[in-house]
Amino acid sequence: MGKLVDGVWHDVWYDTKSTGGRFVRKDSAFRDWVTADGAPIHEGGRGFTAEAGRYHLYVSLACPWAHRTLIVRALKGLEAMIGVSVVNWLMLERGWTFDPAPGVIADSVNHAANLHEVYVKADPRYTGRVTVPILWDKQTGTIVSNESAEIIRMFNAAFDGLGARAGDFYPEALRAEIDAVNARVYDTVNNGVYKAGFATSQEAYEEAFGQLFESLDWLEDRLSRQPWLVGDAMTEADIRLFTTLIRFDAVYVGHFKCNLRRIADYPALQAYLRAIYQTPGVAETVNFQHIKGHYYESHRGINPTGIVPAGPQLDLEAPQGRG
Ligand SMILES: N[C@@H](CCC(=O)N[C@@H](CS)C(=O)NCC(=O)O)C(=O)O
């Protein structure tokens, strides 16, 4: 685990001293967009034209943020148009690597041994964390984006004219409501589990823990009255919540001390988790060996022995129990 400073790799852990024991996630650095016609989305940003075979996605199967992009890639049928490389689940002194192991897919584009080399190729003076996911442009040899929330919106729309599967996970009419749900889920659930798990003060941990379970109660209530978070079909809000829920009982309950309740203890959330898991294409994006191996073996400050728990048994294939 570490970061790049001026293009040079340094092995350092997150600094929580300056923030009262609180884990504060930094904003992503590469924020350009792939669009159907290559028009930039925001002023000063660069636009990249959607083309089959031009872009490459770097992910970790362990990472909930990268997982979003893999799910939308699968649901939109973009596998043949957008290639993928998968890092090793271990993230230690070299950060993410392509060290061979089951489920790892080597970097066929930049032939990197470590993910930080890909960042340096895009920007030789890059300073910051080396995170997944990354959307790479083979044509100009750079990173378009390393922000999962934006990559899934590119996948959702930009490739529609090139034969992507029909389906809109961010429909115009629902955007305001999706954005509002996302904001709470991001802060208290997706990032909330990290805030609890990476806290280095009791107070910071309890603050994150309280907000997390308040939000899970709110979500349980919402999902006991409607099948999806927003509207009457799956949207990106559901995909973004799913990648945290699927890791929750296996990792966050124990490793991040998010143990007031398990997802299995919430009837509506558990049924919803199964419904998404059983959606064609989704289960193939879930790899518990990478998920459990990553957290328990990489975060040696939290789990010094690196022992990976053998359980729990997860009942994801069972009937959803929701019509
Ligand atoms: N905002 C980013 C966050 C990505 C992120 O934090 N990924 C983690 C893995 S779960 C990572 O690569 N961490 C490495 C590090 O922080 O050094 C996104 O959603 O794309």
Segment 194-214, tens digit of pLDDT? 999 999 999 999 999 999 999
CA distances from residue 218 to 211, 243, 268 in whole angstroms, order as listed: 10, 18, 11
d(CA 176, CA 207): 27
Weakest-pLDDT range from 15-29, 30-44, 90-104? 15-29
**Is 147's C-beta closer than 6 angstroms to any atom of ligand 1?**
yes
3-state secondary structure of 13: coil
Strand 47-49 with 3-5, pairing: unpaired
Torsion of CA 265, 271, 277, 318, to 10 degrees: 90
Residue 181 Cα to chain centre, angstroms: 17
d(CA 272, CA 260): 20
Please pick, among 14, 58, 119, 194, the residue that the annotation labels catalytic.
Answer: 194
**Is 59's C-beta closer than 6 angstroms to any atom of ligand 1?**
no
User: pLDDT by residue (tens digit) across 143-187?
Assistant: 999 999 999 999 999 999 999 999 999 999 999 999 999 999 999
**Is 291's C-beta closer than 6 angstroms to any atom of ligand 1?**
no
d(CA 88, CA 95): 10
d(CA 211, CA 191): 11
* Best residue for ligand 1 mutational test, from 69, 131, 298 (most atoms within 8 Å of Cβ): 131
Residue 27 Cα to chain centre, angstroms: 14
Q: Pick the residue with more confidence: 40 or 293?
A: 293
**Is 131's C-beta closer than 6 angstroms to any atom of ligand 1?**
yes
Q: Pick the residue with more confidence: 15 or 132?
A: 132
Torsion of CA 317, 319, 321, 323, to 10 degrees: 110
CATH of domain 172-279: 1.20.1050.10
Q: How confident is the model at residue 136 (pLDDT cuts 50, 70, 90)?
A: very high
The mean pLDDT of the chain is 96
d(CA 102, CA 88): 8
Give φ, ψ of 6 to 5 degrees: 55, 35
d(CA 264, CA 240): 19
Output the DSSP codes for 248-259: IIIIITTTT---
Instruction: Reply yes or no on whether the pLDDT at 104 is more than 90.
Output: yes
Residue 44: the pLDDT is 83
| Percent over 70 (pLDDT), the chain | 100
Instruction: Reply yes or no on whether the pLDDT at 229 is more than 70.
Output: yes
Residue 23: the pLDDT is 82
Q: How confident is the model at residue 42 (pLDDT cuts 50, 70, 90)?
A: confident
Q: Report how far ligand 1's centroid is from the alpha carbon of 134 (Å).
A: 10
Question: Where are the chain's structural domains?
Answer: 3-162, 172-279
**Is 245's C-beta closer than 6 angstroms to any atom of ligand 1?**
no
* Best residue for ligand 1 mutational test, from 27, 65, 72 (most atoms within 8 Å of Cβ): 65
**Is 239's C-beta closer than 6 angstroms to any atom of ligand 1?**
no
Residue 192: the pLDDT is 98
The type of residue at 271 is A
**Is 294's C-beta closer than 6 angstroms to any atom of ligand 1?**
no
Token output for 97: 């690597």
Instruction: Reply yes or no on whether the pLDDT at 15 is more than 80.
Output: no
Residue 163: the pLDDT is 97
Of all protein residues, whose CA lies closest to atom 12 belonging to ligand 1? 131
Owner of token pair 């001293």: 17
Q: How confident is the model at residue 323 (pLDDT cuts 50, 70, 90)?
A: low
User: pLDDT by residue (tens digit) across 110-120?
Assistant: 999 999 999 99
Residue 205: the pLDDT is 98
**Is 63's C-beta closer than 6 angstroms to any atom of ligand 1?**
yes
**Is 119's C-beta closer than 6 angstroms to any atom of ligand 1?**
no
User: Given the CA of residue 147, which atom of ligand 1 is nearest to it?
Assistant: 20
CA distances from residue 83 to 54, 70, 78 in whole angstroms, order as listed: 9, 11, 9
Weakest-pLDDT range from 20-34, 207-221, 283-297? 20-34
* Best residue for ligand 1 mutational test, from 16, 57, 63 (most atoms within 8 Å of Cβ): 63
Residue 9: the pLDDT is 96
**Is 132's C-beta closer than 6 angstroms to any atom of ligand 1?**
yes
Residue 28: the pLDDT is 82
Please pick, among 55, 63, 277, 296, the residue that the annotation labels catalytic.
Answer: 63
Strand spans (E) along 51-207: 55-59, 83-86, 91-92, 95-96, 128-129, 134-137, 142-145
CA angle, 253 then 254 then 259, to 5°: 40
Can you tell me the ipTM of this complex? 0.98
Of all protein residues, whose CA lies closest to atom 3 belonging to ligand 1? 65
d(CA 29, CA 139): 20
Is 63 one of the catalytic residues? yes
User: Given the CA of residue 129, which atom of ligand 1 is nearest to it?
Assistant: 17
User: Given the CA of residue 132, which atom of ligand 1 is nearest to it?
Assistant: 12
Is 55 one of the catalytic residues? no
d(CA 273, CA 170): 20
Superfamily of domain 3-162: Glutaredoxin (3.40.30.10)
Angle of helix 202-225 relative to helix 175-185, nearest 10 degrees?
140
Nearest CA among 30, 13, 57, 22 for reference residue 187? 22
The residues pairing with 4 across neighbouring beta strands, listed in sequence order, are 9, 128
